[in-house]
Amino acid sequence: MQSLLASIVGAALFLIGCIHLYWLFGGRGGFSIAVPTKNNTESPLFIPGRFETAAVMFIFWAAAALLLMQAEIIPAVGPSWLPAFGGWALAVVFLLRAVGEFRAIGFFKKIRNTPFARVDSLFYSPLCLLLSCLTTWMMVIT
């Protein structure tokens, strides 16, 4: 069961990383709903550059690798405690992302009438909650 959960979450994280790779190389599909915008405007709260996009891509891929290491699907590299620590850290980070920062991101955001906010409420935040639950389940059955 642990291998299945790690494979599911790892595949999701890898695919999200691939979306960032697409944006890194100039793709724009889906980009307009990927960044929070100011209330009643199309103006983004921030504009990620190439470095930030590449960093997020590598973070998603590293997170996928940590989960696969924890489930012993791929060989572990680095300190022996790293896969377990990484798995628990991911579960917490995804839960915090689902809850949000109470302004523009997460279930408890105040800005709700933008394209990003609608997609965040319907897809991004529930996905983060699901990834947190699946990762926690995977870590508990270790």
The string of pLDDT tens digits covering residues 23-40 is: 999 999 998 899 998 877
For residue 125, the model assigns a pLDDT of 98
- Kindly state whether residue 20 falls inside one of the protein's structural domains: yes
- Kindly state whether residue 85 falls inside one of the protein's structural domains: yes
For residue 115, the model assigns a pLDDT of 92
Structural domain including 54 reads: 2-32+47-140
- Kindly state whether residue 16 falls inside one of the protein's structural domains: yes
- Kindly state whether residue 41 falls inside one of the protein's structural domains: no
CB 63 within 8 A of CB 90: yes
The angle that helices 50-70 and 82-99 make with each other, rounded to 10 degrees, is: 120
25: left (phi over 0), alpha (psi -120 to 50) or beta: alpha
For the entire predicted model, the pTM comes to: 0.93
For residue 43, the model assigns a pLDDT of 86
Compute the distance between CA of residue 101 and CA of residue 83 in angstroms, rounded to an integer. 27
Number of domains in the chain: 1
At residue 44, φ and ψ (nearest 5 deg) are -70, 150
- Kindly state whether residue 38 falls inside one of the protein's structural domains: no
Compute the distance between CA of residue 1 and CA of residue 76 in angstroms, rounded to an integer. 19
- Kindly state whether residue 39 falls inside one of the protein's structural domains: no
- Kindly state whether residue 131 falls inside one of the protein's structural domains: yes
- Kindly state whether residue 74 falls inside one of the protein's structural domains: yes
Low-confidence ranges of the chain (pLDDT < 70): none
At residue 24, φ and ψ (nearest 5 deg) are -60, -35
